[in-house]
Structure 1
Amino acid sequence: MSDQLTEIAAHPVPPLVDGYPEIADHGLIGDGQTAALVGLDGTVRWLCLPRFDGAALFAALLDADRGGAWTLRPAGLRAVRQEYLPDTAVLRTELHAASGRLEIRDALLVGGDDPTDGPDGRPAGGPELGVAGGELARLVTVLDGEVDLAIELTGRGGLRACAETDEIRLDFPAGGSPPLRLTASRPIAGLDRLAGRIRLTAGERIGLVLRWADGPTRHRSADQVAAAIDRTAAGWRIWSREISFTGPHADLVRRSAITLKLCDDHDSGAVVAAPTSSLPERIGGERNWDYRFTWIRDAAYTVYALRRVGLASEAESFLSWILDACTRDGGPRVLYTVDGTRPAAERIDHELAGYRGSAPVRWGNAAADQVQHDVYGEILDCAWQWARAGGEIDDRRWGRLTSLGRSALAHWRTPGNGIWEIRRSGRLFTYSVAMCQVAADRMARMATATGRRGEVAQWRQAAADIREALLTEAWDERAGHFTEHLGVPGTLDASLLALPLRRLVEPTDPRMVATVEAVQRRLGAGGDLLYRYLPDESPDGLTGHEGAFLLCSFWWVDNLAGSGQLDRAHELFDQLCARVNHVGLLPEQIDPATGAFLGNFPQAFSHIGLISSAVNLARYGGRRS
């Protein structure tokens, strides 16, 4: 099959800032167990093994000197370009040197490692995205001229190389895992010392494979490496056929869906918030967090987004994982590892300097121990989606869901750390109260749908009582908008924009329209950007400020569309879509002053927002004018 690549121009090599590339200057590859970031210059600067939350083998984004990276660099590098093979997670990076031009194709292999075709004529393992190969394959091809290529590997905490008959064994002490294996399709001087050099001419190519799965690789020759990458691309294309969307910015919706799949643990169905840790929300600040886990809060939004672009299987897998994890040990946690367990305690890594000196680097996330009462609504909203799609809720599961609903009723007036996970004493956040109302409402809906009619009335009444309290106590009559906390006038946070999305209030309600306008005025960061809150007005226990939070802007789009302001909604959505990087990826936050990407990258929540807003705009229709 032809790759049908887009003809995009090469650009000069982007300059480093403080010794680091821009966060945006990377593409993501993955295999359903882990993911890697590949720079515009062909350098792999992020890879954790053997899964998303494993030890970082390559972490040069967090320390350019000591983090570790895999570099493929031609002498005299002048220009670069990078793109995905269409509808795949295979990256193609083109490097223009003074004397020639080369292409690198990078993939984390999926679908098994059998180099033969299957009985149906398709590449063996092609559609099996659930099978991670445990290998990073890199195919280098010289397109024209000749190139002197440097191949260097360094690892977080150091690598020890031992050359064997047909491979190089790498000991990675910091990883605590079995030895890695590096193979090349032809001899490369110095590669046994992890600093190889080779001259290649037009038409020549090299296959390189880094393997952490058990046993040796079966991809030895350049042809075999190329075939393995082709099988991986074929698998992604087959999977991508399930994506169904024809509305605004359909190309970015498809890329967002693939990006969410790259954040999906294929074995469990869990979706991590981002594949990275500690990329800063403000350069030089302390707001640096580990996002390589699954937040329950993300679940309902993720399931909604996946379902509406045709990915029902992924939605069902995630729903099943959520319900199992959250009802397993008596009570829900805020976040989990991909196998449904509690993350290790948060710790600070004093050896890594942080991206552009933004310390500290953190592994683990202390939010796992926070009190966040919105989780009850998130889980029960997921359970309702499960039931509505035909999922069975037997008496055992119903009992566990009932316990969650009762916890929401018991705690909805109890202060907590809230959706933004403040690191100071809890407050009675409006969003948390709203999600406790959602918990009661969804219990009533599920009781109706599953024939448990004797329980419907009590849940409906509880939902009505909480809703009435919220609409009364969160409304600031003097300011003319809803507030961040119940009973505390004045302050705003952007989670208020989610109230219509959770059916607490209609987007056309004058109170909600006024709240949206107040959020824009008070939290606006310029143009299409919003801060999620202002730390000076809503203290969070941390120093400094952060960037604009992209998901909040997508919520803004949804509110505008829901209130009939379609021209403004489409214009805002167009502006947000223009912020994707060269391969269609989005971060958590944007620096309003420069437009630079901030926070962990790519951020699942941002791509969920893009999909959801596109779906909503398609549902409401085109522009008025």
Structure 2
Amino acid sequence: MTETPPYQDAPGSPRYLPIAEHGLIGDLRTVALVGSNGTIDWYCCPSFDSPSVFASILDAERGGCFELAATVPARTKQFYFPDTNVLITRFFVEDGVGEVQDFMPVTEQCAEADRHRLIRRVLCVRGTVPFRVRVAPRFDYGAAPHTLSMLGDTAIFASPELALSLTSTVALESDGLDARADFKLSEGEAAVFALDRVGDAVAPRGCARTEAESEFEATVCYWRRWLHQSRYRGRWREMVHRSALTLKLLTYAPTGAIVAAPTTSLPEQLGGERNWDYRYVWMRDAAFCVYALLRLGFSGEAKAFMNFLTTHISPGDGSASGPLQIMYGIDGRTDLPERELGHLEGHQGSAPVRVGNAAADQLQLDIYGALIDSIYLYDKWAEPISSDQWDDVCQLVEWVCDHWDQPDEGVWETRGGRKNFLYSRLMCWVAIERAIRLANRRGLPADHRRWRTSRDAIYRRIMDRGWSPVRHAFVQHEDGEVLDASVLMMPLAKFIAPTDPKWLSTLDALTDDLVSDSLVYRYDPQASPDGLRGDEGTFSICSFWYVETLARAGRLDEARLAFEKMLTYANHLGLFAEEIGRTGEQQGNFPQAFTHLSLISAAFNLDRALG
């Protein structure tokens, strides 16, 4: 099947690749999405949350792209070079086979790190293959003008805020504001394209074939050396390791932050308005990040993320609603104003396109439990926290004791008004309970009487008002009847025994109402209006929570089947977006850290339960 890039208008050709038809490369500061047709259609420079350079995934005409493909009808296949984040896209044509090796070298040298070099190495491995390349940047989400200067074998794209250089081993020519080339390779021949950020102390520099080969080998060695730290030897090693490699790609090395996803505004429903910017750090990811990284043996990454939490985030940095925000910038900044980019049509016409995230100002009480649980886990499995960190924990616990009994926007960041969500109560309980455990184990000073009183009050409140005698289940919010998949965290957080009769009844109710072929919906937006139009797909993190709760309940055959089914919904590279649509398509921002974190947790615990 021939893939036609978005900039072509051939009759019947798709203007957009599906979300799942992409792979991810990166340099631990930013990433690029590479389509299965060879087109880079998402790239922000110099960091995850910078304005885009290529964004044709959000607007096929105005977004910009880096197209590299065979010029004749071709079938394509895409895979990762084993145990790495080096992406290979292969083109099978009538007269031969060619491939594009896409990668971004990872380096700690400041000048080279600031270059953010993106290398596209093209090889002909059989016969002959004709290729074309078209580099069409559109700076600042397609809103900023730029100029193109051709200097020998180098093209310089310059906008008011950013300049990029494109060097090539084949002759480039200008095409308006874009650069392009047509070339043919025979078996054993190669061509190299390198896109660099230039300016200040970073000057344009070519990338010869020998240098590209050396960088390829160095990048492969880096990723394999990193992955070698993994202690996981379970049944689903390939999927777990791909999830780990993906999480590493979503790490911002200068601070240790891990973004929720590297994209913005990929729709949860085509044509819907549930389009959000996920290029930030969510507090609720904290415990899951530390848990998954430490379980696999990546203590360095867990330490870096913990340093981000304790160095860049202070209990005094929050908004008027509390000492913490629910999310932060990758540099720890608190100001994340949300705006809509009306000039972009959105993925497959799914407007609006948003940058920034207004949910940063919401009250979500669950984040305190997530953060303190991560600190507890790190202290238990990695290294003892400092006295200053304990002082911060005490400050947060005191705040939770004073404020747990109030409505909030909840874990799903609904925009339909505050409610007394069970999950928020649950995680407030976690915040206090983990702090008590930590104080007891380390002999740290704490107001034990007050903390125990608040912890027990939350427990009684959940059991009394979070349980529905009508549904025979724990429900979304107090005194309601709506089911919500977030309650799957109750046994995972050790609030209730996984075999408690009330929990098993809840699990059966969730299975009947929210589960479809192992896939789990968060809740029914018709029964519980969330202030937004349209429907959504099943939530992949909930599906992996479901697997883990089944395993902990001893229903191992069901858990294993549900897990194996979930793996079939991954894309061709083992990557997951936030949601799965009705016919199995990936929806929402891609790939999502939370989903891959929950995959690791489910795989680890299910494998252990199976023995």
Distance 1:149 1:390, change over 3 A: closer
Alpha-carbon distance in structure 1 between the residues aligned to 2:217 and 2:558: 43
Q: How does 1:430-509 map to 2 (within 5 A)?
A: 430-452=422-444, 455-486=447-478, 488-509=479-500
Query: 2:53 matched to which residue of 1?
Result: 57
What's the offset of the Cα at 1:71?
Answer: 0.2
Percent identical among aligned pairs is 38
CA deviation digits over 1:432-460, x for unaligned, max 9?
A: 00111111111211211231356334323
What's the offset of the Cα at 1:217?
Answer: 5.1
Aligned residues: 591
Query: 1:106 matched to which residue of 2?
Result: 102
Alpha-carbon distance in structure 2 between the residues aligned to 1:543 and 1:17: 30
**Code of the aligned partner of 1:58:** F
Alpha-carbon distance in structure 2 between the residues aligned to 1:250 and 1:394: 35
What's the offset of the Cα at 1:189?
Answer: 4.5
What's the offset of the Cα at 1:611?
Answer: 0.4
Alpha-carbon distance in structure 2 between the residues aligned to 1:160 and 1:31: 26
Query: 1:151 matched to which residue of 2?
Result: 133
2:513 to 522, 534, 539: 522
1:583 aligns with 2:564: no
Query: 2:529 matched to which residue of 1?
Result: 539
Query: 1:349 matched to which residue of 2?
Result: 341
Alpha-carbon distance in structure 1 between the residues aligned to 2:238 and 2:135: 35
Q: How does 1:20-59 map to 2 (within 5 A)?
A: 20-59=16-55
Query: 1:312 matched to which residue of 2?
Result: 299
Query: 1:510 matched to which residue of 2?
Result: 501
336-345 vs 271-280, greater mean Cα deviation? 336-345
Alpha-carbon distance in structure 1 between the residues aligned to 2:2 and 2:559: 35
1:244 aligns with 2:244: no
Query: 2:320 matched to which residue of 1?
Result: none
What's the offset of the Cα at 1:188?
Answer: 3.4
Q: How does 1:187-336 map to 2 (within 5 A)?
A: 187-190=171-174, 193-213=178-198, 214-216=201-203, 218-327=205-314, 329-330=316-317, 331-336=323-328
1:140 aligns with 2:125: no
**Code of the aligned partner of 1:51:** S
Alpha-carbon distance in structure 2 between the residues aligned to 1:612 and 1:448: 27
Distance 1:461 1:113, change over 3 A: closer
Distance 1:113 1:183, change over 3 A: farther
Alpha-carbon distance in structure 1 between the residues aligned to 2:549 and 2:384: 33
CA deviation digits over 1:49-86, x for unaligned, max 9?
A: 10000010011110111111000122113200111111
**Code of the aligned partner of 1:20:** Y
Native 8 Å contact 1:323 1:383 kept in 2: no
CA deviation digits over 1:452-495, x for unaligned, max 9?
A: 35633432332122112111210111221111112x23111100
Deviating beyond 4 angstroms after TM superposition, the runs of 4 or more aligned structure 1 residues are 11-18, 189-193
Distance 1:453 1:398, change over 3 A: closer
Alpha-carbon distance in structure 2 between the residues aligned to 1:308 and 1:534: 33
Query: 1:186 matched to which residue of 2?
Result: 170
What's the offset of the Cα at 1:42?
Answer: 0.7
Alpha-carbon distance in structure 2 between the residues aligned to 1:72 and 1:197: 10
Alpha-carbon distance in structure 1 between the residues aligned to 2:547 and 2:382: 31
Alpha-carbon distance in structure 1 between the residues aligned to 2:388 and 2:540: 39
Distance 1:454 1:140, change over 3 A: closer
SS at match of 1:376: helix
**Code of the aligned partner of 2:552:** G
**Code of the aligned partner of 2:197:** W
SS at match of 2:251: coil
What's the offset of the Cα at 1:533?
Answer: 0.9
**Code of the aligned partner of 1:236:** W
**Code of the aligned partner of 2:46:** P
SS at match of 1:89: coil
What's the offset of the Cα at 1:620?
Answer: 1.2
What's the offset of the Cα at 1:363?
Answer: 0.4
Native 8 Å contact 2:136 2:178 kept in 1: no
Query: 1:618 matched to which residue of 2?
Result: 607
Unmatched runs of 5 consecutive residues or more in structure 1:
1-10, 115-124, 126-130
Distance 1:480 1:87, change over 3 A: same
Native 8 Å contact 2:4 2:14 kept in 1: no
Distance 1:498 1:193, change over 3 A: closer
390-399 vs 249-258, greater mean Cα deviation? 390-399
1:377 to 369, 372, 387: 369
Alpha-carbon distance in structure 2 between the residues aligned to 1:551 and 1:69: 31
Distance 1:147 1:373, change over 3 A: same
Native 8 Å contact 1:111 1:133 kept in 2: no
87-96 vs 150-159, greater mean Cα deviation? 150-159
Alpha-carbon distance in structure 1 between the residues aligned to 2:202 and 2:554: 59
**Code of the aligned partner of 1:25:** E
Alpha-carbon distance in structure 2 between the residues aligned to 1:393 and 1:203: 55
Alpha-carbon distance in structure 2 between the residues aligned to 1:496 and 1:37: 34
Alpha-carbon distance in structure 1 between the residues aligned to 2:411 and 2:218: 41
Native 8 Å contact 2:167 2:205 kept in 1: no
What's the offset of the Cα at 1:164?
Answer: 1.7
What's the offset of the Cα at 1:587?
Answer: 0.8
What's the offset of the Cα at 1:408?
Answer: 1.1
CA deviation digits over 1:156-185, x for unaligned, max 9?
A: 225421012452211134xx22x1111012
1:366 to 350, 355, 358: 358
**Code of the aligned partner of 1:425:** G
TM-score, structure 2 normalization:
0.93
**Code of the aligned partner of 2:534:** G
SS at match of 1:505: coil
SS at match of 1:110: coil
Q: Cα RMSD (Å) of the superposition?
A: 2.0
Query: 1:6 matched to which residue of 2?
Result: none
Query: 2:9 matched to which residue of 1?
Result: none
